[in-house]
Amino acid sequence: MPDPWGGDRPEADKVEALAKHLRDVWSQTREKMRLVDAYKGGTFSVWRDALDKRPAYHPPTARYLIDHAVDTQMSVDPKVKKFPAGEGDEHKKKADAVEPALTAVMLDAALKEPSIPWRQAYSHMLAYGYSVMGTEWEEVGGLVAPKRLDGEEEKAYEARMEQYEAGRVGWNPVRIKAPHPSRVLMNPNEMQPDLAIVESHRYAQDLANLVKRKGRYGSKRVKPYEPGDNPYKPVPLVEVFTAQWHGLKVKEDGDFLVVERSPWGFMPWMHGFAGWGGEVTEVESEGFDPKHMAVSMLEGIIGPGALLQVQAQKASSIHNAVLERGYARLGTSLPSEEAAQQLEAGPEAVLQGTREDWWWLEYPEIRDWVFKSQQNDDREIELATYIRQVVGEHQAGVTTLGQTMIYDQSASRKFYVPAKQIERMAGIIGRNILKMVDIRGEPITLQGHKLRPSDIEGSYDVSVLFVQVNPVTQMEMRKLGMQEVGAGLKSPETYRESDAMMENEAEESKRLMKARIRERDDVQEQLQINTIREEGLVQLADRLQEALDARIKGTGPVQAAPVAGNGAAPAEMVPPVQTGGR
């Protein structure tokens, strides 16, 4: 769906019409989402209409199917790969510096949301077969660089600048959003749409503060908003986003409160489908409906007469049978009035009469076939979703590591496409963050890393992976990688990047080189001389220095002592040092 304004300022009345159209497009998909919510929340109808008065038990099957898959198949720690802006070591060095810094920014932004957005988006992807994500630059709490005042002394200005720089450490204006997919309306035919309509709520006072703040930041058009008598009244809002503009208005209420030009040059929202659906044959007669694309992992086992309802009916029946036996009813041959009087005496009273006068009502036995039927249902659920080994349950007959890896890989293919969709959106978010930092021209400093525009070099080409590490598998892969390095089939750099999964391989290579240099005999001696000098023994240090210099000049380079591997990489990975000296 192209931008209806062609890059010009959006119009409020067209936004309402467009929002209504998109609500209609996504209406049946929303109905499917409500059905999933009913099964996840345990509010679905176990029995049909006239039978609704029967005891009902809602097994949490739908919820744990989703939650277990999310917990075991999706990591929340992004692994960022920044591709160099050009050829040469200098470009690679800057790209390697961006990777841990961008990772820190994305981790910090994720932890500022009520729910970690990567996990939330993946949960939506599995539950609804569809997910949305977005990026924001939040101005609240940002520091303004001080300007030198007329007549201000240099020291005073430098002190204010130092205070400003110190205050920027730990400040992160980036926000990563993963709202419920029914809140963000986009064209289902485009994976990177030109336009998005976002429906949300804000408290009246928060909305008033937002509008005032937007006015202070120089928005092109701001309409005042008064919160009224109740500052905590939820106000329904509609926002429109394009690559050039952002508009905010109260739902079904006149003109925009805020219309501002976007400085970023990209539309900040994106979406993706899980890949379990597809277009239907009669698409021309009924029109394209995203309900055929947004197919839940639970599709086919939820709804009236479907497997999870049948499971709930059987579980309710067994539960009711257990209660009937645990709290069985009494039968008696005594006259009803006499029996009633004895029972009214209370639970501690002793019933009068013979053994034949009182008895417990008998119920049909629960046969083994009932439980076998439940086992068959569990098997059908596995076939429709995933096998239990995916969430850590032991598979019968699997005894070796090789068998475990084969089964894990085969079972996890179910989630390959949903995970790739999340990684695709995360990659777009990573690129958007780099663009925003580059356009702002100011670094973000977090967790000891600094994301600098100078390191970005105008190149935003990044990929993001969410690697779910199996410790046993990783250990085997690292052993295999070391063997490949020893056989000359893989470079040490590739080992550190792919097998050891190091974020900044260039920095680690530098550390390894320093470690190898420190192992040299002449370097060790020089370090000792420097330490002696620091302790104030200057004359002794001078004599030792002269002796070391004479020995180096007279005998040539001192060969490095052999260095064993330090656990991070095999010894063959460190190139030998050819020259000596201080």
Contact criterion met (CB below 8 Å) for 276 and 129? yes
* 156-175 pLDDT, tens digit each: 888 888 887 777 788 899 99
Per-residue pLDDT averaged across 108-133, rounded?
95
Per-residue pLDDT averaged across 406-413, rounded?
70
Task: Tell me whether residue 582 is in a domain.
Answer: no
DSSP three-state, residue 59: coil
Task: Tell me whether residue 537 is in a domain.
Answer: no
Please report, as a single letter, which amino acid is at residue 54.
R
Contact criterion met (CB below 8 Å) for 127 and 298? yes
pLDDT, mean over the chain: 84
Task: Tell me whether residue 384 is in a domain.
Answer: no
At 160, list the tokens. Answer: 């204010």
> How would residue 140 be classed by pLDDT, with cut points 50, 70 and 90?
low
Contact criterion met (CB below 8 Å) for 36 and 42? no
What gap in Å lies between CA 26 and CA 310, rounded to an integer? 29
Structural domain including 118 reads 36-197+262-296+415-465
pLDDT of residue 220: 63
Highest mean pLDDT among 68-82, 121-135, 183-197, 286-300 belongs to: 121-135
Contact criterion met (CB below 8 Å) for 131 and 115? no
Task: Say if residue 487's pLDDT is above 80.
Answer: yes
Task: Say if residue 336's pLDDT is above 90.
Answer: no
pLDDT of residue 390: 61
Task: Tell me whether residue 486 is in a domain.
Answer: no
DSSP three-state, residue 108: helix
Number of domains in the chain: 1
The CB-side HSE value for 343 (13 A sphere, CA atoms) comes to 12
Task: Tell me whether residue 156 is in a domain.
Answer: yes
> Following DSSP, what letter does each residue of 283-329 receive, concatenated?
HHHH---GGGT---TTTTTSSTTSHHHHHHHHHHHHHHHHHHHHTPP
What gap in Å lies between CA 94 and CA 180, rounded to an integer? 37
Per-residue pLDDT averaged across 119-135, rounded?
96
> How would residue 574 be classed by pLDDT, with cut points 50, 70 and 90?
very low
Task: Tell me whether residue 45 is in a domain.
Answer: yes
Which has the closest alpha carbon to 316: 32, 127, 65, 48?
48
Contact criterion met (CB below 8 Å) for 435 and 461? no
Phi, psi of 569 (to 5 degrees): -160, 155
Classify the C-alpha dihedral 90-91-97-100 as positive or negative: negative
Task: Tell me whether residue 176 is in a domain.
Answer: yes
pLDDT of residue 176: 96
Strands 234-241 and 258-261: unpaired
Task: Say if residue 60's pLDDT is above 90.
Answer: yes
Which has the closest alpha carbon to 23: 247, 242, 252?
252
Cβ neighbours of residue 141 under 8 Å, at least 6 residues apart? 171, 173
Give the global pTM: 0.78
Per-residue pLDDT averaged across 515-526, rounded?
87
Task: Say if residue 503's pLDDT is above 60.
Answer: yes
Per-residue pLDDT averaged across 47-70, rounded?
86
* 90-117 pLDDT, tens digit each: 998 999 999 999 999 999 999 999 999 9
Phi, psi of 79 (to 5 degrees): -110, 110
Per-residue pLDDT averaged across 79-90, rounded?
91
Output DSSP code: residue 394. Answer: P
> How would residue 71 be classed by pLDDT, with cut points 50, 70 and 90?
confident
Provide the percentage of residues in the chain whose pLDDT is more than 90. Answer: 39
Strands of the sheet with 234-241, listed across from one edge = 184-185, 196-203, 234-241, 245-250, 258-261, 221-222
Task: Tell me whether residue 491 is in a domain.
Answer: no
